[in-house]
Structure 1
């Protein structure tokens, strides 16, 4: 049985409010920890009680470095909004970086397709060959899995069909 929905509003009963605060705080911290570990993210959580008391602080990097990074990002965004000329320069730099990344990806794609290999060193060719072999193995494994799943599904359908035919014969 699922849980019922609750209205998101202040809980009037102070005991219930404290219990909910405690449980939800632990859930929040658990999720923050998982996010930091699974996604290699910088996470900082600070929780103050309704009285203003610092209850818990979670950090996987220096909390000061997280706050400094946040403030720096906020200042950059504010500066871009207030100064259109620097905003235009920022976006021009971003466009240049994206163009360079696109060119690099296109070059890699051509190399994967066997084109433009003449300028590569032997180590680069070996690395490319290893990458292609790993990709081929992954494709073959995926194909085998799909075929296996389809065979199982067809066998199941045959089984169901045979059972329905034998039921009709009786």
Structure 2
């Protein structure tokens, strides 16, 4: 009779869990022993139960020797990885330094410096780059000016609309202007000016 496949999940029943642990622990240690004998492999197994009890197996006389060998092996691998990573960083640094040097030389040439070693074709290429840059700058400058003009025109239209509203409001209620102190002062000065004008005449004085 074939045995059913066991699902890989925690066994909830404590008794069944302990029985399964005991059986599989013995099977694991047995497999480790068989591997060490059949293949002459150095094998070490460390197991801690749920209660913290230690079980171990080592094909060597002492399991500590196998652990020390493992540590030495992993340290060597770590050093090798670090060495390769450091070499990779050094290579990237050298590449970045060359790129920065080329950019600095290009910037100097664009500013009119270090042109003595340039050929005619290189100078022509530099001139074309400057023309393209100047064209882009002029386009951007024109765009900014147009944006500013549009903003000023919009502001002008807004002010005209406000003035038109105020004028319409004044024409609709002209009597309100006399209630304002400033308007009353203007009206007073205008009336006094009218009186003075009526007192003037042209001609010889009466005898």
Q: TM-score, normalised by structure 2?
A: 0.40
Q: TM-score, normalised by structure 1?
A: 0.48
Query: RCO greater where, 1 or 2, for CA within 8 Å and sep 6 or more?
Result: 1
Q: If you compute each CA radius of gyration, which structure gives the higher value, 1 or 2?
A: 2
